[in-house]
Each structure stands twice: as C-alpha cells, then as structure tokens.
Amino acid sequence: MKSFSTSFLSGAAIFSAVSALATAQLPVEKRAAIDGLPSGGVVSNGVAFGFLPSDGYQVASPVYTMAQINSKLGVKASTYGWYAQITSSTFTGSQLLQRLDDVVASGAVFQPAVMPTIPFSQVTSNVASQVASVLEQFTAKGVEVWLRFGHEMNYYVTDGTYHGTAAEFITAWKNIHAAVSTNPKIKMYWSPNVDTSSSPVAPYWPGASYVDIVGVDCYPTSSPLPSSAFSSCYGTFYKTYSAAYNIPFVIGETGYAGSSGNAAWISQLVNQDMCEYLNYNAASWFEYNKEANFLIVEGSSSILSSAQQLLLHNTKTGCAISTTTGSTPTTLATKTASTTTNTTTNKAASQTGACTWGCNGWDCSASSPCNADYTCMSGYCH
C-alpha cells in the first residue's frame, strides 16, 4: 500500500490470490534466520513485530514517530517501515533521511519501500548507486536495512504508479542489488502484492540468487474474518518462494480495518503453528487511518489493549521440534526472532509397552515431554 493513495482488493481477490502458484517445496531442516533484528524488540510466538507509522500525507492520521508508538505500546517495535519514491534520475532520499534520527533511536530494522515512479528502464546503475548511498547513511549508524525496492510491483504496474515490463523490473532490481551488495547490513526484500490473474507475481521473480527476504502484502477485508485468512493470504506464496528456497519470510505490511476484526487478524499473524511457517520471521502493521482506520496503537484504548495482550503476553514461543528416538535425550529448538535456544530433557522409556502418559496425540512441550516411544512435534506427541 503506497503512501499517497490506497487501493483495496476485494475479499475474493485477497483470499484466492495465492492459489495460482504451485512449486514443489524442498525439505527445510532449520529456520532461515535474518541478521539484525533487535534483541529488545517485540517478539510474539517467534514473530518480530513492527509498524509503518503514518506519514500524515493526505490521510486522516497525523504523522507518528516510532518513539510515540513505542511509548504507547510499552515496548520497542522490531521493524520500521517507511515510503519513498524515485521520481527522476536524481535520488536524494529526503523522504527517508527525514526519519533517520527516529529510525536510529528506535533500534528497529528499517524497511524502506523505495518506489520507482520513473520507468523501470530508467533505474540505471547510476540511480541504484544513489539509492545505496542514501541507505549507507542508515547503516553507518548501525541500522539494519531490509530494502523493499519496487514493492507491490505486480499491482502498481496495473494502476499506473509503476511503468514497464516484468523483464525491465528484474533488470532494475538487479541494478539495485549490485549497488547494495557490498553492504552487509542491507538485505534485498522482494515484496509483491497478492497474486491474481490480472496482476501475477511469477513474472517479477528475480531469482533466489538476487533475493535475501521474501514477503507479500495482503490486507484481508472479509467480515467476519475467517480463521483461514492467514493461510489464504500467505500459504501458497510461502511454499513457493520461502520454503522452496529456504529464504526468510517477512510480512512487509498488512492491516485490517474495523474494531471487529483487527484483533482477530493480529492474533492470526502471531499465533500460527511456527513449525509450518518455519521461515516466518517478522510482520509489520500499517499504522494509518487512510480511507479506512487501520490504527491499533494510536487508535482506541480497547484496540490498543487487545494488541498489547497479543503482542506482549503471548504464551507461545515459536516452533519446538523434538528429535527423540528411544531413550535418547530430546533437544527442543525454540525459535524466537533470529535466535535459537536449546533445552535437553531426559525421558524414561515405557516399561510395559502400554502407553499411559505422553502418548500419541497428547499435548507436549519442553516441560511436558512425550513418552520415549513418541516424538513431540508442533505441540503434540506423535
């Protein structure tokens, strides 16, 4: 969703959007983690959570700093999204640099959505080097940058915001990639809009060698919000571009308008079975009142309270994978942000052959292991 106008997808388009892609999933044995997530940022069920603060431009919400959002939320955001446009062959990055101090003070990963409103073919190596120079002013101060270059490209070429072919986009992408490749604190973050027949995603894929992070922008609109909204938005995309290549998956922006569904959507964002979405690292909320009220921190106190409960007091801690066989000790790997902690638990073997505890289908965790004849996976004994 760009910063100066908002386009809404129909509920049918959003929830059928990811069905067109089908790529075989390769086995993934460990999480594709990302460097740079702040140690003190909010993490809920292994998902680092952050915001795109309102820029106040032609919207009902005023300008917010991340300092304001963090103060009201009661914890530091993990990610910080902002928008800028490339409007000519000269890119000064003024839209980004005006937030430099707030970004640095926040400690969050910076996720600039740099939008080429000039034709893709004009994003030359020279323009790309200017983008890299602007971002270096952030990384020089210790900021980790996940660059969402040309985000939602498959949609914005259809409404006239972007100009050019998919092949020209890929060339522009590779120019940007080359310009930032020597800076280890900048990651190339490929972030299309949801996949539809009129705005397909696949033609814009630059190839795994040119992508550090993948994500897709999805704003569900159905009311009531179905329990399958998360998988409908992200499931097929995740399998096709994250799991298949073991590339970290990050939700660059999302939101749900209306008091009846925003808490339910936050809950889905941070309560997935993280063993099914092992590469899912972070999500960012569109903190705007823009043609619809997406505010969850700067909105009503009741919505804020719900958000705090889901983000700050989630008892889930990520994916716990058990690899026990026989009476061998179990190692549980709990994923939170980009870190892994290990706990070893010794389990007694069944003495009678008849299972009386920790049996198939029983709940299990690090503190409540399965019987030695069973393995703890996704919170259940198998």
List active site positions.
152, 253
B/e letters for 257-286, b = 16+ CB within 10 Å, e = fewer, are beeebbbbbbbbbbebebeebbbbbbbbbb
Cα gap 169→199, rounded to integer Å: 14
Identify the three-state secondary structure at position 15. Answer: helix
What letter would DSSP give residue 243?
Answer: I
Cα torsion 201, 145, 93, 134: sign: negative
Q: Which of 249, 256, 283 is CA-nearest to residue 269?
A: 283
**Radius of gyration, CA atoms only, the chain:** 21
Q: Judge contact between 56 and 85, C-beta under 8 A.
A: no
Cα gap 128→93, rounded to integer Å: 12
What letter would DSSP give residue 242?
Answer: I
Amino acid at 83: Y
Cα gap 221→211, rounded to integer Å: 29
Which strand (E) or helix (H) includes residue 67?
helix 66-73
Alpha helices in 98-161 (DSSP H): 100-106, 125-139, 153-159
